[in-house]
Amino acid sequence: MKETPSTSHSIFTRDFFDIALVNFLVMLNFYSMLVTVGPYAVDTFHASSASAGLVAGITVIGSLLARLSSGYLTNKFETKHLLLFGLILMLPVMASYLVTPSVTVLLIIRFLNGIAIGLIGTVTNTAVILLFPPDRRSEGISYFSLSTILATAIGPFFGLLLTQLVSYKILFLVEIAISILALIFATMIHGDTIKFKTVHHEGQKLSIRHFVEPKVFGLAFVVLVVGLTYASLQSNLALFMKSIGLEQISSYFFLFYAAIIFVSRPFTGRIMDSKNENYIAYPSLVLLAIGLFVLSNMHHAWVMPIAAILIGAGFGNFQSTTQSAIANFVEPHRLGQANSTYFIFFDIALGFGPYLLGIIEPFLGYRHLFLAMSGVAVVSIFLYYWAHGKSVTASEKIK
């Protein structure tokens, strides 16, 4: 029988806030740099558009490498030590932006930046799970994920505003300060509260299970497919809005998107804890499909907030719900590998999706691309059912 959400344990501990702040600051650093480093490469080194895009996106390759190894590392080293290592690595990496002599060196720096962010992100998103009572885990993850949502909304605005007001040098100095602040908060986290239970098998040969969790491949693949719908927004939304004469309001799309996630996630987390993930996953995919359909048919400015709210409620809540589901049905000592697997698939969608969809868009056009993504969301309903939804019961959750 499903447990009633606990009221005897608070999920808002000092460690929770410290980990959330670390995650927010690192993601703020990532998203603010993501939108500014491409223009920096063009303005400073006269890089081509393709090279600027590679400079912005190569962090994904570094992040994937870190995701792949972090599941293994969390079973070999203290969680707090891994977190501190990632944050300490970020400091010289961020300082290197100040003395970058060429695009080639900038690519190396961005790659190392991706390794640091991938390691930190996997550790924070996995370690924070250990702070929550099992019967309030989904609610806790929903609250924690707001730190990333805030960063995705504030980061691009913050980065672009700085480049408009000050030089790139000042931007990099601010990013270094943010990294130092994240490191300070990380030192305040109590290592024992985020320590993984490890299972050692003497003499066991190194295998794929040391790095990833095959049990979650199915659900992680669904996350990859659904992630392509968001990738279409990353690469094509601004261009689409410009093509229909609404470029002046395009930047507000993600504000509405972030606002609805910020409001809804705590409630969806509680519903998932009291029921199960299917109660959120299916409606989220339906809302996502409707939102993309509305977007594909948009001709007037007043439609934009409606599409943004529907897509935010859909994709935003599906993303946190699947992350919670993965944490709920693996053994505690496999959380590192499970979360690593989840983020590997998620990063593939957001990292390579824009490039692949960019190849398709000239043949379809923006409207038909978003309409196709609406169809992808519909297909994902059946994929989710096949991969996970049909087998969901309260008794499956490992407490």
CATH number at residue 383: 1.20.1250.20
Of 166, 193, 220, which one is at a domain's C-terminal end? 193
SS3 state at 146: helix
Strand ranges, E, within the chain: none
Whether 2 maps to a domain, the answer reads no
Are 135 and 34 in a shared domain?
yes
Shared-domain flag, residues 135 and 221: no
Residues 178, 247, single domain; the answer is: no
Residues 269 and 374 in one domain: yes
Examine the domain organization and report whether 43 and 170 are in the same domain. Answer: yes
Half-sphere exposure in the Cβ direction for 133 (13 Å, CA): 14
Residue 155 is predicted with a pLDDT of: 82
Q: CA-CA distance, 280 to 268, in Å (whole number)?
A: 7
Name the residue with higher pLDDT: 182 or 234: 182
Q: Which of 329, 137, 61 is nearest to 217 (CA)?
A: 329
234 and 89 within one domain: no
Q: How far apart are CA 93 and CA 362, in angstroms?
A: 37
Please report whether residue 24 resides in a domain: yes
Q: What percent of the chain has pLDDT over 90?
A: 35
My answer on whether 128 and 267 are in the same domain is no
**153 shares a domain with 232:** no
Placement of tokens 């691309």 in the chain: 369
CA distance 285 to 381: 6
Specify whether the CB–CB gap between 344 and 122 falls below 8 A: no
- Distance of alpha carbon 323 from alpha carbon 211, whole angstroms: 18
At residue 54, the pLDDT reads: 77
Residue 337 domain flag: yes
Spatial distance between the Cα atoms of 193 and 361, rounded to a whole number of angstroms: 48
User: Given this model, what pLDDT does residue 133 score?
Assistant: 82
- Name, of 73-77, 180-184, 228-232, 327-331, the range with top average pLDDT: 180-184
One domain for residues 171 and 235: no
Please tell me the predicted confidence (pLDDT) of residue 6: 45
Same domain, 124 and 161: yes
CA distance 190 to 128: 12
Confirm whether 229 is domain-assigned: yes
Token pair of 66, please? 């870190």
Mean pLDDT of 25-52: 85
Are the C-beta atoms of residues 328 and 41 closer than 8 Å to each other?
no
Whether residue 378 lies inside any domain: the answer is: yes
Q: Which of 27, 47, 25 has its CA nearest to residue 37?
A: 47
Is 203 within the bounds of a domain? no
* pTM of this structure: 0.76
User: Quick check: is 61 in a domain?
Assistant: yes
Cα 204 from Cα 208, distance rounded (Å)? 12
Count of domains for the chain = 2
The parent domain of residue 381 ranges over 212-392
Rounded CA-CA distance 165/178 in Å is 18
Residues 183, 252 share a domain? no
Q: Which of 7-16, 121-130, 280-289 has the lowest mean pLDDT?
A: 7-16
Rounded to the nearest 10°, the torsion over CA 291, 293, 297, 301 is 0
pLDDT (mean) for 38-47:
86
CA dihedral 324, 328, 333, 335 (to 10 degrees): -20
Last residue of a domain, one of 159, 193, 227: 193
pLDDT average, residue stretch 59-64: 84
Same domain, 219 and 80: no
Q: Which residues contact 160 (CB under 8 A, 6 or more apart)?
A: 35, 36
| Cα(335)–Cα(337) distance, integer angstroms | 6
Tokens of 266: 């705590």
Nearest Cα residue to 132 out of 262, 18, 9, 4: 9
Point out the domain boundary residue: 140, 159, 193: 193
Q: What distance in Å separates the CA atoms of residue 60 and residue 62, rounded to the nearest whole number?
A: 5
Quick check: 60 and 347 in contact, CB under 8 A? yes
Residue 202 is assigned to a structural domain of this protein: no
